[in-house]
Amino acid sequence: MQWKRSLDSLNNLLFILKEHFLLGAILSLGVVLRFYGLGLIPGPIFDEVFYPIFALNYLNGETFFAVHPPLGSYLLSLGIYLYQLLPWTDSIMFGGVNIEDINSFSYRWISALSGVILIYIGYKISLELMNKKGFALLVALFLTLDGSLLVDSRIGVINSLFSLFGFMSMLFFIKALKKNKMSYFFLTGLLLGSAFSVKWNGLGFWLTMIILVVLFFILSKFIDNFEHSKQNRINLNPLNFLFVFVAPFLFYLAIWLPDLLHNNSNLIDQHAQMISYHFDSGDQKPHPYSSPWYTWPLMIRPMGYFFESNTILGPDLVGKEIFTAIHLFPNPALSLFSFIAIVILTFKWMGFVSESIGRKKILDELYISSFILVGYYANFLPWAFPERSTFIYHYQPSAVFSFMALAYLLHEAVKKDKTESRMLYMATLALILISAIYWLPLHLGLPISPESFYSKMWFISWI
């Protein structure tokens, strides 16, 4: 009997080590993909003509106007400053430094780091939703292999920053709902305020939380005996929600103080100009890479961030043309499968609602699918309203929720232990991995031949 217990303990230990190894391997891959050759392409490229320059303006003492809240620029400014403190970097006296005078790594590493942390946060959120390591590891893998998240975490823009804060707020929101701890509600509010202190897009996470609270409140009225599993216990305490629905805006106002002092501006004028930019009747001339919101899941119009053509001498001393390009290019297989998963899960959700009402109990399936679907639609559907140019990178928060939907359906399918389910699971993962490798040169800006470049542009709208 003793040897059986010892064998069980050993098997449990090996299982835990295997899971930690897989998580470590995924995170290591995420680090390599996001930091490899990070500063090789000199900047600024694409929107680096805005955010890193704003960050440098803080250090140079120069005034400016930005169309987004200041927290993202603060963090890039911190990244530039810390990089210049490294012993192997050239000393710079701020005061009149141009963006071309500094290493592009200095304003990109913060985004890269946030991209890696987002992988881990996605893993932790998945564990809180469903305490299944296989499901959580799938989510982490998908976050690692998505091209859109990868590209924006390799340049000095702020998309990865607001996504990170937003999903961190979702992590503590789940913890707060389950454990009803004031500290979790406080952290939720702080991180949520941080998300829309980087970009107003972060309000999609706030909308997600509101809809989830209202949804489960309504369900509690339909289900007299409002029960739920211990794993997914839900506490609806109105007092604690003040931290979620009021505190973020107080933090948002506080974040503005350094910027207002630096630019000698006031909050009302600043926001009047920002509102004018974001909500006026639209651009006179659409941006060449703009795309309607409903095309994003099918990646009809990816974005070219950088393109350069050079001629090099080959071994035969004949000049050969080489392209270096960075395209914000979602992983096509992952993007398509994840959107299909959202559609399937939406129909399943209706069945989960009906079954939960019939059984007078919130099913785990309803809890998990509600979080995923509300997060997806609350971050996606509001983009139907802006009249100005919109871009496929606006889909990134919704895409993360769609990755969770795909991981959830795959995990549930493989649990059935049927040959067809295992084949579907393996085929899906194989296609996603092949897709990631095939389009990787366009994500990392690796030199490729013109033939290779055009072979990856399957549709005219992709160029």
- Span 95-143, pLDDT tens digits: 778 888 888 999 999 999 999 999 999 999 999 999 898 999 999 999 9
Q: Which residues pair with 325 in a beta bridge?
A: 307
- 241 — pLDDT class (breaks 50, 70, 90): confident
Segment 346-374 mean pLDDT: 89
- Domain boundaries of the chain, sorted by first residue: 2-462
What predicted TM-score, i.e. pTM, was given to this entire model?
0.91
Over residues 293-318, the mean pLDDT reads: 83
Cβ burial, residue 350 (10 Å; 0-12/13-18/19+) = exposed
pLDDT greater at residue 361 or residue 437 = 437
